[in-house]
């Protein structure tokens, strides 16, 4: 009987050690987007697509694109439940005077989706991020 108890304890210890050595899988949106490195690639890919998109590229001509990049990474990271804190202006303030239209907003979202697809982000994960960003639509359009 003692031999079985010892064997059981040894087996439990081995299984416990094996489990702690494995990388943790994140089911959070932040983790599914690849954490901050993944979000950075998504944002940079989106901005590269915008640079080639005649529908909206003009809106980005006179902005500090490095700041836009950095603030978008913060925003997406925070919205995805990551450890980032968004330190930029409110969406209303950021878009004030730009008179952006629903078409402009949709074009940006299309570029975001294309960037996520290029990063092999699954559609359900894309939809989770878009659902968290969607409430900002009214804060961006016609400001």
Cβ atoms within 10 Å of 51's Cβ, excluding its own: 12
Nearest-angstrom CA–CA distance, 116 and 88: 23
Whole-angstrom distance, CA of residue 64 vs CA of residue 28:
31
pLDDT one digit per residue (tens) for the chain, 143 residues = 444 344 344 334 434 433 333 333 457 999 999 999 999 999 999 999 999 999 999 999 999 999 999 999 999 999 999 999 999 999 999 999 888 999 999 999 999 999 999 999 999 999 999 999 999 999 999 76
Q: Give residue 26's pLDDT.
A: 54
Using the CB atoms, write b or e for 27-50: b if 16+ within 10 Å.
eebbbbbbbbebbbbbbebbbebb
Paired tokens of 40: 């950075």
């Amino acid at each position: 009987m003692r031999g079985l108890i010892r064997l059981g304890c040894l087996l439990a210890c081995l299984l416990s050690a094996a489990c702690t050595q494995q990388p943790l899988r994140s089911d959070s949106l932040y983790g599914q987007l690849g954490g901050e490195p993944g979000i950075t690639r998504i944002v940079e890919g989106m901005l590269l697509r915008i640079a080639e998109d005649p529908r909206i590229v003009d809106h980005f001509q006179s902005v500090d694109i490095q700041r836009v990049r950095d603030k978008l990474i913060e925003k997406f990271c925070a919205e995805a439940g990551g450890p980032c804190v968004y330190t930029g202006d409110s969406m209303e303030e950021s878009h004030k005077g730009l008179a952006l239209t629903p078409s402009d907003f949709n074009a940006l979202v299309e570029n975001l989706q294309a960037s996520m697809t290029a990063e092999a982000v699954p559609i359900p994960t894309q939809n989770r991020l878009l659902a968290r960003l969607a409430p900002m639509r009214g804060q961006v359009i016609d400001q």
